[in-house]
Structure 1
Amino acid sequence: MLSRRRFLATTGAAAALPVPTWADAGTPSFLAAAREPSGTYALFGLTVDGQIAFRVGLPDRGHAAAAHPSRPEAVAFARRPGTFAVVLDCATGSVLHELRSPEGRHFYGHGAFIDGGRILATTENAFETGEGRIGLWDAASEYGRIGDIPSGGIGPHEIIRLPDDTLAVANGGIRTHPDHERKKLNLDTMRPNLAYIVDGRVVETVELEDPKLSIRHISGRADSTVAMGLQSQRAPSERVPMLATHRLGDPVARTFGTGLAPAFQGYVGSVAWSGDGARIAVTAPRGAQAALFEGEAFEILRRPDICGVAPSRRGLAFTDGTGGVLTDSGAVKHGVAWDNHLIALTPA
């Protein structure tokens, strides 16, 4: 029988075991999925100056990732209409768990941790009805599925956690079905919105004046103002806004960048507030450029296939499809093709 003294010594030693942190994964500042020259796919951790901190292989093409707020874990999501997500130990390179969307669902490539990292929220398509859903997974218990809630619209794409644990969801408004690959099925009736979810309930939705502007990607500032990157379903030459901002409780959203739409070909690939919250960047991979807004004014950054963007310590960091990483420290290049998104663990 284990003596009381031995029991206390054993439990004390267990309690003293170090808890893994992001420092054990090389202290990365960013996460990004990429295609490698061999045709394989992987999730990479990048340091503050764009160097590779770690690499973990993926079973197929990744889109975006969600970083756990304290543990060196990342959830890499398949590109729409993928049905897998992989929970990765970024310190050891091992796969901890493989998540599969429920029958009749697929993922949209994005997710977010809430409740101090105890719950993972994922955007999903219930494709037989077209309803957008938010899947909920117990990150404290091997990522078991614990339920789902409405997203507040059709086609939920990016989901983010705001500082007060409110979820903001970009409901793109476009219905799709895996039997029709990536075909858009409801362009005549689409109604995208930005939805806010508090305690599992949609408390507000905001629509833009033009229903043909799909809200796909979003970024939150410290004061919970949300920036929305827009994708036009009109002719690429039409002058429509490419950026909008909103804060929960505001009567309407503000829109920006109408003159940029033709050069952007009506398509924003990603959006991010700068680390200091003073600027917003929207990327246009089809136009090989990004626009950095400060109020109504903006400047243009030109790079081939630029798409990923995330906040950094002094501003913004970018990735592109040719392997380039642009940070506060300058530009570096790696022998991979970065996918659409760059995820900041914290403003680096």
Structure 2
Amino acid sequence: MQRRSFLASLLAASTLPRLGWADAGSPAFLAAAKDATGAFVLHGLSAQGETVFALPLPARGHAATAHPTRPEAVAFARRPGTYALVIDCARGTQVARLTPPAGRQFNGHGTFSADGATLYTSEVEAEGSAGRIGLWDATANYARIGEWASGGIGPHDLKRLPLSDDLIIANGGIQTDPTDRRKLNIATMRPNLARLSPGGEILSQAELPPDLAQNSIRHLALLPDGRVAFAMQWEGDPADPVPLLGLWDNGALTLCPPPETEAYVMQGYAGSIAHSPTLDALAITSPKGGAVQVFATDGRFVATHRRPDACGVAAGPGGFIVTDGNGAISTLDAAGLLPRRSTALSWDNHLVALAI
């Protein structure tokens, strides 16, 4: 009878409908926000910026990543974070709440392996900010299965390189106090980009030149030709008009300075980055400067567009979609940057496009 009951249960489970992203409303983007009551929420947005689902977060969110096949999103806390929330976006339920091991903190970003079996999370050791990449088994309720060295101090964004399971890591180089986020090593910081194999081996690393060693590498965008664009945040003299965009090409770094007057607009801070296949262009945002700058994919400066507290940016129909802390959702295309939708939300740093 026990065997018969077990087989019946197995058969019933196998006939349950398998949910996909269409069951979650086919969102085009994920974005964390704070609503009018002060609550923190993860939103799934349509290509037009309409909310298709909104799920609560336990504290301020930062970025998110989507499972490649299942309608699951992992929302990450703002660094230094103590939660990563796995959410079933179709059912509106929590699948798992991830907590970093003792002595570790989440650092705001993560990504999946190509087959969706493994979640990778950017982490730091609380004391010293040595970088770690956490490994979580997405086939076993996201159990922790190991960690790798990130190849630097203070890793932030990470991406899986196309057509592989190699990872590219933005090691920001900043050691921070584990309680109050004070920056402790600005004079000696050494940011880098590190490429890791599927086994965690550091295949290559690329550092900025010494005169730009205080330019913290923070966020990444993948280009279709295999290159990686990266956005930086300047920790040096505010009077220095440094480039905030760079390109990584199989280990070689190229910096992309705008005209000097345009460099000052960004106030030394690029908060997010995206590539638009439609425009074949890159955009970096500055909530501090209230601006979005567009570059060609060869690094040539194209234009600056003004938008107060603009930070989230992702590829969208016709070009880019931009979110800001005042609740607006804007389009940025050949016609310029135009607000399209107003919400009662304060959008957080990132707008994550779902490539599913």
Q: TM-score, normalised by structure 1?
A: 0.93
Distance 1:330 1:24 in 2: 29
1:127 partner amino acid: A
1:271-300 alpha-carbon deviations (Å, 9 max, x no partner): 111134710000011111100111413112
| Structure 1 residue 14 displacement after superposition | 3.8
| Structure 1 residue 258 displacement after superposition | 5.7
Counterpart residue number, 2:127: 128
How many residues are paired up? 344
Counterpart residue number, 2:175: 175
| Structure 1 residue 165 displacement after superposition | 2.1
| Structure 1 residue 314 displacement after superposition | 3.3
Counterpart residue number, 1:335: 344
Task: Give secondary structure in 2 for the equivalent of 1:239.
Answer: coil
| Structure 1 residue 173 displacement after superposition | 0.3
Counterpart residue number, 1:253: 254
The answer to whether the Cα contact below 8 Å between 1:275 and 1:312 also exists between their aligned partners in 2 is: no
Counterpart residue number, 2:329: 325
Distance change in 2, residues 1:230/1:7 (3 Å): closer
Distance change in 2, residues 1:299/1:255 (3 Å): closer
The answer to whether the Cα contact below 8 Å between 1:86 and 1:99 also exists between their aligned partners in 2 is: yes
| Structure 1 residue 235 displacement after superposition | 2.2
Distance 1:278 1:166 in 2: 24
Counterpart residue number, 2:59: 60
Distance change in 2, residues 1:21/1:330 (3 Å): farther
2:127 partner amino acid: E
- The runs of 4+ residues in structure 1 deviating greater than 6 Å are 6-10
Counterpart residue number, 1:204: 204
Task: Give secondary structure in 1 for the equivalent of 2:22.
Answer: helix
Task: Give secondary structure in 2 for the equivalent of 1:253.
Answer: strand
- 1:108-187 equivalent positions in 2, closer than 5 A: 108-163=107-162, 164-179=164-179, 181-187=180-186
Instruction: From 225, 235, 238, give the equivalent of 1:236.
Output: 238
Counterpart residue number, 2:305: 301
| Structure 1 residue 256 displacement after superposition | 3.0
1:344 is aligned to 2:343: no
Instruction: From 287, 290, 297, give the equivalent of 2:289.
Output: 287
Flag structure 1 segments of 5+ consecutive residues without an equivalent: none
1:319 partner amino acid: T
1:341 partner amino acid: H
Distance 1:316 1:211 in 2: 30
The answer to whether the Cα contact below 8 Å between 1:128 and 1:177 also exists between their aligned partners in 2 is: yes
Distance 2:154 2:8 in 1: 54
Task: Give secondary structure in 2 for the equivalent of 1:23.
Answer: helix
Task: Give secondary structure in 2 for the equivalent of 1:219.
Answer: strand
Distance 2:234 2:72 in 1: 35
Distance 2:13 2:279 in 1: 42
| Structure 1 residue 11 displacement after superposition | 5.2
2:18 partner amino acid: V
2:126 partner amino acid: F
1:136 partner amino acid: L
Distance 1:89 1:240 in 2: 42
| Structure 1 residue 127 displacement after superposition | 2.3
Distance 1:323 1:103 in 2: 36
The answer to whether the Cα contact below 8 Å between 2:257 and 2:301 also exists between their aligned partners in 1 is: no
The answer to whether the Cα contact below 8 Å between 2:128 and 2:176 also exists between their aligned partners in 1 is: no
Distance 1:14 1:32 in 2: 33
Distance change in 2, residues 1:305/1:202 (3 Å): same
1:25 is aligned to 2:34: no
Counterpart residue number, 1:221: 223
Distance 1:3 1:158 in 2: 48
1:105 is aligned to 2:109: no
1:183-241 alpha-carbon deviations (Å, 9 max, x no partner): 11001110000111112111111111110111011111222211111111112231111
Counterpart residue number, 2:315: 311
Distance 2:48 2:222 in 1: 23
- 1:59-98 equivalent positions in 2, closer than 5 A: 59-98=58-97
The answer to whether the Cα contact below 8 Å between 1:271 and 1:281 also exists between their aligned partners in 2 is: yes
The answer to whether the Cα contact below 8 Å between 1:138 and 1:145 also exists between their aligned partners in 2 is: yes
Instruction: From 264, 270, 292, give the equivalent of 2:266.
Output: 264
Distance 1:330 1:128 in 2: 43
Task: Give secondary structure in 1 for the equivalent of 2:23.
Answer: helix
Distance 2:87 2:279 in 1: 30
Task: Give secondary structure in 1 for the equivalent of 2:288.
Answer: helix
Distance 2:196 2:244 in 1: 24
Task: Give secondary structure in 1 for the equivalent of 2:112.
Answer: strand
